[in-house]
Chains A and B, each alone.
Chain A
Amino acid sequence: MPVRPPGERNALRAAGLAGAALVLVAVLAFSVAFGARQLSAGAVWRGVFDDGSAAWTVVREMRLPRTLLGLLAGTALGLAGGVMQALTRNPLADPGLLGINAGASAAVATATAFLGMTSFGGYVWFSLAGAAVVSALVYAVGGGRGATPARLALAGAALNAALYSYVSAVMLLDSDSLEKMRFWTVGSLASAQNATSAAVLPFVAAGLVLSLGLARPLNALALGDDSARALGARPGLVRTAAIVAVTLLCGAATAACGPIVFVGLMVPHLVRALTGPDLRWVLPYCAVLAPVLLLGADVLGRVLGRPGELQAGIVTAVAGGPFFLYFARRARVART
């Protein structure tokens, strides 16, 4: 392949990003248009803009909030995956696989079962705290040079199991929370309301700004701490900021739609194949393409699961799993 000059490469990447944004717009439209009740395109259009139309309730109060939440949560999970993979220098770092989302859900389970919290504004703080603790722990385990992908993934699986066994103990002790939690723990956009999206927005926006700002210093960190210092980055500060960003993104996304795996793993990998390793391009692409995946999974779940639905978290787990398996079978990653 001929090496292109940097200016031309960047123009190509920018064009690609614009194309990805178009795909996102198309998926957003799909997500509003498809659902358990079949509506014609005209009815959906009137549902969005005419509050007297028959489809107003379905479109404005169910599909639109859900689509918005999918957009926010997808962006959050994709970015978190990209940042986490750069931070741990580990291609298998996914907030779901490493237990960060499970940490958030364990904290939410505590808040709903023992403290009786039901509003998003109440338990989102617990979710953030849970995500923060596990992010720090994962970083402590997987941040060093000795950690191979397999070892880090295994440590994450063990943390996941520990947190999951706690959540199921909570569900077992209290059948009210079982009824709520068993739908929440699979990861779903179905319970979305306009208020949820509005409450998630500030956290995701803060995480988005922080991660995009970290792209350049994280690029420097990929060269090793000494080179990064020589380039003017402060490794300790950058790592702390990256953990804060991951916490904000994963904590908010998990509080809103439950623990969702594989989105943060798949999207950065697919993106890197398009853009190369430069995080200044990888992260924006992740932010645009991850909601495509999550909303695509959600729409697919609505279509496949009729008359009910398959939760988006199940679709991403089952569809993302084979991707992970394919990836794991490649020799380079599987070396200890």
Chain B
Amino acid sequence: MTVVHLPGDRSVRFRPRALAAGAACAVLALAVGVFTIGGGNYPMSPAEVLRAALGGGTPAQDFVVNELRLPRVVTALLVGGALALAGALFQSLVRNPLGSPDMLGFTQGASTGALVVVVAGGDSLALAGGAVLGGLLTGVAIYALAWRKGVHGARLVLIGIGALAILTGVNGYLLTRAQLMEAARAVLWLTGSLDGRGWQQALPLAAAMAVLVPVALIGHGRAVRVIEMGDDLAGALGVRVERVRLAVLAAAVLLTSLAAAAAGPVSFVALTAPQVSRRLTGAPGPNLLASACTGAALLVTADWAAQRLFGDHQLPVGVLTGVAGSGYLVWLLARERGAGRI
């Protein structure tokens, strides 16, 4: 822990390793992004990509970068960051490394909203709206059901898992009601894909994150860290536990739903990114900013791999995160089990 004293009796304290790891992830995310934009049928060098992105390229480069490839990469960065931040907040609130929104039913709520739109035959804008609405309604319902003189972490987990099982049933039913073509579209959406994502997906998410990320990081970051030590201790230290929990849950549910609206419920980013960042930073606590950077790096890398590694056959990015995340999960179960945290 390093402390820097500022003039006027103020000081800033940080862990050099955590800061370095977070910065490294952010740089990695951006570098992979630039590299991804430079690949494909119209290859460009990183320098050309940067020049075009800043407005100095040829018209062809400008079109390929700013209209076709940059929005997709920006969406990947934002979705990865949002999911990872939401995952870190949830894992911290329920004090369990597996407590990410896709294990607690919140993501499935967004899926239900989107599937209702698919079955009703709505367009992609309505689908995004349905996802946000479904996620929010599920969040409110789970919070209300878990409330009993406060929302206890373990009860939130159990109610969330119950909601997950119900909504999985409902989603399966909605899939059987759709026509085959729509069902294929729905399964693609449910897996999570960045194909054809443009500025109309990236910009709303960016605007929402501009509000939500500071609320979570600056407004409640410190309180979340204290609550991890236990409700009683946090109360004794002057944290209003229930208020913080409500605000943080609301922010996390919004982040999850908006990310799902932009790219579909990309699985396992919310679960793995906070855990990876915790190991990179070597710091206890939720590691919110580092998690968000890790998530962005993970998703943009997964999207690069999904586009390039399988020849002509482009996979949706959710397949890759799902498979990689499953492997990581088994490792995590074995390891955390040994340490007695699961």
B164 partner residues in chain A, CB cutoff 8 A: 157
Is there a chain B Cβ closer than 8 Å to A32's Cβ?
A: no
Report the Cα distance A169→B155, complex, angstroms: 32
Closest approach, in angstroms, between the C-beta of A309 and any C-beta of chain B? 10
Q: B263-313: which have CB < 8 Å to A?
A: 267-268, 271
Residue B158 contacts which of A150, A175, A310 (CB distance < 8 angstroms)? A150
A182-B176 contact, Cβ under 8 Å, with A318-B170, A321-B162, A334-B155 = yes
Measured CB to CB, the nearest residue on chain B to A159 is B329
Chain A 103-152 interface residues, beta-carbon cutoff 8 Å to B: 137, 140-141, 144, 146-151
Contact B173 A186 (CB under 8 A): yes
From DSSP, what is the main secondary structure of chain B's interface residues? helix
Report the Cα distance A197→B146, complex, angstroms.
41
- Residues of B contacting A162 with CB < 8 Å? 268, 322, 325-326, 329-330
- CB contacts (< 8 Å) of A186 on chain B: these are 169, 172-173, 175-176
Tally of A-B residue pairs with Cβ under 8 A?
Answer: 165
Residue in B102, B104, B154, B176 whose CB lies within 8 Å of A148 = B154
Q: How far is the CB of A90 from chain B (nearest CB, A)?
A: 12
Interface centre among B187, B191, B268 (most CB of A within 10 A): B187
A-side contacts of B161, CB under 8 Å: 97, 153-154, 156-157, 324, 328
A140-B337, A157-B164 given as contacts; is B172 within 8 A of A314 (CB)? yes
**Complex: A158 Cα to B336 Cα, angstroms:** 14
A335 adjacent to B159 (CB under 8 Å): no
Q: How large is the interface on B (under 10, 10 to 19, 20 to 34, 35 or more residues)?
A: 35 or more
* B337 neighbours in A (Cβ, 8 Å): 140-141, 144
Please name the residue on chain A nearest to B339 by beta carbon: A146
A96 within 8 A of B: yes
Partner of B168, one of A140, A178, A317: A317
Q: Is A336 close to B, CB under 8 A? A: yes
Instruction: Assess the B333–A155 pair: CB atoms within 8 A.
Output: yes
- Whether A172 and B173, one on each chain, are in contact in the complex, defined by CB atoms closer than 8 angstroms, is no
Residues of A within 8 A of B155 (CB): 328-329, 334
Assess whether B145 is in contact with A325, with CB atoms less than 8 Å apart: yes
> Chain B nearest CB: distance from A206 CB in Å?
28
A154's partner among B103, B172, B183, B334 (CB-CB below 8 A) is B103
What's the tally of chain A residues with a CB closer than 8 Å to chain B? Answer: 58
Any chain B CB within 8 A of the CB of A299? Answer: no
A158 interface neighbour in B146, B163, B271, Cβ under 8 Å: B271
In the complex, the answer to whether A141 meets B268 with C-beta atoms within 8 Å is: no
**Residues A314 and B170 in contact in the complex (CB < 8 Å), given A157-B103, A165-B326:** yes
Q: Which of B165, B173, B188, B326 contacts A166 (CB 8 A)?
A: B326
Contact A178 B187 (CB under 8 A): yes
- The interface stretch among B38-46, B67-75, B93-101 is B93-101
Q: Which residues of A contact B165 (CB under 8 A)?
A: 96-97, 261-262, 317, 320-321, 324
Chain A CB within 8 A of B7 CB: no
Question: Which A-chain residue is minimally distant from B193 (CB atoms)?
Answer: A172
Query: In this assembly, does A8 line the interface, its C-beta being within 8 Å of a C-beta of chain B?
Result: no
Contact with B along A67-97 (1 / 0, CB 8 A): 0000000000000000000000000100011
**Distance between Cα atoms of A175 and B163 in the complex (Å):** 29
What CA separation (Å) do A187 and B155 show in the bound complex?
28
Select one of B96, B172, B183, B184 contacting A313, CB under 8 A. B172
- Rounded to whole angstroms, the CA-CA distance of A105 and B271 in the bound complex is 23
Known: A163-B326, A336-B153; 8 extra A-B contacts, CB below 8 A, are A157-B103, A158-B271, A165-B268, A169-B319, A261-B165, A311-B173, A321-B162, A325-B162
Complex A-B: 25 CB contacts under 8 Å: A96-B165, A140-B337, A144-B337, A154-B99, A154-B103, A155-B333, A156-B161, A161-B268, A162-B268, A162-B330, A166-B323, A169-B191, A172-B187, A175-B180, A179-B180, A186-B173, A186-B175, A261-B168, A262-B165, A311-B172, A314-B173, A317-B170, A321-B169, A324-B162, A334-B158
Q: Chain A: residues with CB nearer than 8 A to chain B?
A: 92, 96-97, 137, 140-141, 144, 146-151, 153-159, 161-166, 168-169, 171-172, 175, 178-179, 182-183, 185-187, 261-262, 310-311, 313-314, 316-318, 320-321, 324-325, 328-329, 331, 333-336
Q: Which 9 A-B pairs have the closest CB atoms?
A: A317-B169, A165-B322, A328-B158, A321-B166, A186-B172, A162-B326, A334-B155, A324-B162, A150-B154
